[in-house]
């Protein structure tokens, strides 16, 4: 890598713009320059902005002294002074650049949520002194900033990040076997970590968790049965359009802000409509009874479960898509109603009684019904 200068004339003045670039060899033996970092303009009117004060502790000196840095072509006319250093921009090289700001922010969020305090006594340390809470932080920061495989984290990403500098550790934290083994230590604390995060989120942002979004997805595996007994990989309805592959189903409850409250990994042949009752009980058991509104796709609840939600004490409210069969029966009645445009492309039916509403999108037969809140 090296510095490249672009000189431009504007309004009779010369402006110089600097960038960090690197040479990359491509097909045919050609070498092209890849832009890495834009540094901005350096001109005579900004001479003071170019001054940098750095503390240099010389051999044998008891106190640091301040040196001023100048580009080599700006030292003309300056008095000779031992505190002035000429910098040859043409010979500067960028070595091992690391991502700093995002890593620092991830560490700050980790500390604000007090996640390290939660995990440190639970994960402990083995005989060789592995700090498992710091290994876990590396995994979390990686998922937050550049999600990928543990192998990529071990081989590439950790060296390009400033995590080692921030934690005061070396690459030993990102050894591949440590990254894999760390996952095995987490599952037994699954419910406790949700309780901790929900409590911290409530303390920091005064979140009430009165609206919950529930949905399911799947992920498939290119693997052939048979699998060990109890394995959750099964053939089932594939949202990925890969019915030839086994899969697992992942159910997730999140808040509108994106904070996950609960999740579950289910066998790949699990039907969506069989999962809701268990999650209703789990959320109530873990976070207590409260006035909550659940938002779901129409294929998730059954009429039996919706009736149980309405009959609960206190009632569990919901907003769910109308099944297509019922929508056909209601179509004639709904079309005759006085619709009004809520926003371009979306019409809504004015509420006739508190707590019930209906909306539709132009060009589709979408309809939503909300349980009575009155």
* End-to-end C-alpha distance for the chain, whole angstroms: 67
| Closest alpha carbon to 318 in 259, 256, 368 | 368
What digits encode the pLDDT tens for the residues 130-154? 889 999 999 999 999 999 999 999 9
DSSP β-ladder status, 31-41 and 65-71: unpaired
Mean pLDDT estimate for the chain = 78
Radius of gyration in angstroms for the set of CA atoms belonging to the chain, rounded to a whole number: 30
Q: In the chain, what percentage of residues exceed pLDDT 70?
A: 74
Tell me the pLDDT band of 313, cut-offs 50, 70 and 90: confident
Q: In the chain, what percentage of residues exceed pLDDT 90?
A: 23
The 3-state secondary structure of 173-221, one letter per residue: HHCHHHHHHHHHCCHHHHHHHHHHHHHHHHHHHCCCCCEEEEEEEEEEE
What digits encode the pLDDT tens for the residues 68-100? 555 666 555 555 555 566 667 677 787 888 889
Question: What percentage of the chain's residues is helix, strand, coil (to nearest 5)?
Answer: 35, 30, 35
Give the pLDDT score at 48: 41
CB 189 within 8 A of CB 124: no
In this predicted structure, the answer to whether residue 30 has a pLDDT above a threshold of 80 is no
Q: Rounded distance, CA 180 to CA 298, Å?
A: 38
Tell me the pLDDT band of 54, cut-offs 50, 70 and 90: very low
Give the pLDDT score at 3: 61
Q: Which residue has the higher pLDDT, 19 or 302?
A: 302
CB 248 within 8 A of CB 233: yes
DSSP β-ladder status, 317-321 and 293-296: parallel
Q: What are phi and psi of 330, to 5 degrees?
A: -90, -5
Q: Which residue has the higher pLDDT, 357 or 204?
A: 204
Give the pLDDT score at 206: 78
DSSP β-ladder status, 53-56 and 65-71: antiparallel
In this predicted structure, the answer to whether residue 373 has a pLDDT above a threshold of 50 is no
In this predicted structure, the answer to whether residue 297 has a pLDDT above a threshold of 60 is yes
What digits encode the pLDDT tens for the residues 103-116? 999 999 999 999 98
Give the pLDDT score at 336: 77
What digits encode the pLDDT tens for the residues 168-183? 888 888 888 889 999 8
What digits encode the pLDDT tens for the residues 237-281? 998 899 999 999 999 998 888 888 888 999 999 999 999 998 888
Whether residue 219 has a cis bond before it, omega within 30° of 0: no
Partnered with residue 99 across adjacent β-strands are: 161
CB 294 within 8 A of CB 318: yes
Give the pLDDT score at 368: 52
Question: For the chain, where are the E strands, in sequence order?
Answer: 2-10, 13-25, 31-41, 53-56, 65-71, 84-87, 211-221, 246-254, 260-267, 293-296, 317-321, 340-343, 346-349, 358-361, 368-370
Give the pLDDT score at 324: 75
CA atoms within 13 A on the CB side of 217: 5
Q: Rounded distance, CA 313 to CA 265, Å?
A: 29
Give the pLDDT score at 27: 60
The predicted model scores a pTM of 0.62
Q: State mean pLDDT over 145-166.
A: 91
Count other Cβ atoms within 10 Å, centred on residue 273.
13
CB 220 within 8 A of CB 247: yes
Q: Which residue has the higher pLDDT, 240 or 45?
A: 240
* Helix, coil or strand: residue 240: coil
CB 220 within 8 A of CB 244: no
Q: Rounded distance, CA 293 to CA 196, Å?
A: 23
Q: What are phi and psi of 153, to 5 degrees?
A: -60, -45
């Amino acid at each position: 890598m090296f510095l490249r200068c672009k000189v431009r004339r504007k309004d009779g003045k010369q402006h110089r713009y600097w960038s960090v670039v690197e040479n990359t060899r491509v097909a045919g033996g050609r070498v092209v320059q890849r832009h890495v970092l834009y540094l901005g303009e350096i001109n005579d009117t900004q001479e003071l902005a170019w001054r940098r004060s750095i503390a240099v502790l010389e051999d044998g000196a008891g106190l640091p002294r301040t040196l001023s840095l100048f580009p080599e072509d700006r030292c003309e006319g300056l008095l000779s002074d031992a505190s002035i250093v000429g910098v040859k921009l043409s010979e500067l090289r960028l070595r091992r650049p690391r991502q700093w700001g995002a890593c620092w922010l991830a560490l700050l969020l980790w500390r604000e949520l007090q996640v390290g305090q939660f995990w440190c006594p639970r994960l402990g340390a083995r005989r060789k002194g592995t700090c498992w809470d710091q290994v876990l932080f590396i995994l979390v920061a990686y998922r937050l900033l550049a999600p990928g495989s543990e192998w990529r984290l071990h081989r590439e990403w950790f060296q390009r990040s400033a995590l080692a500098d921030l934690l005061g550790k070396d690459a030993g934290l990102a050894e591949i076997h440590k990254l894999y083994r760390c996952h095995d230590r987490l599952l037994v604390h699954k419910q406790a970590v949700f309780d901790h995060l929900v409590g911290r989120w409530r303390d920091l942002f005064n979140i009430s968790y009165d609206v919950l979004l529930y949905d399911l997805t799947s992920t498939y595996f290119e693997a052939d049965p048979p699998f060990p007994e109890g394995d959750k990989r099964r053939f089932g309805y594939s949202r990925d359009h890969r019915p030839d592959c086994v899969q697992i189903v992942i159910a997730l409850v999140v808040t509108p802000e994106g904070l996950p409250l609960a999740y579950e990994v289910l066998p790949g042949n699990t039907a969506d409509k069989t999962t809701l009752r268990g999650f209703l009980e789990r959320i109530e058991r873990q976070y207590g009874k409260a006035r909550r509104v659940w938002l779901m796709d129409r294929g998730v609840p059954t009429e039996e479960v919706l009736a149980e939600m309405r009959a609960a004490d206190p009632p569990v409210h919901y907003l769910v898509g109308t099944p297509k069969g019922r929508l056909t029966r209601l179509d004639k009645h709904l079309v005759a109603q006085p619709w009004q445009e809520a926003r371009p492309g979306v019409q809504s039916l004015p509420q006739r009684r508190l707590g019930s509403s209906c909306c539709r999108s132009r060009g589709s037969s979408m309809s939503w019904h909300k349980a009575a809140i009155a």
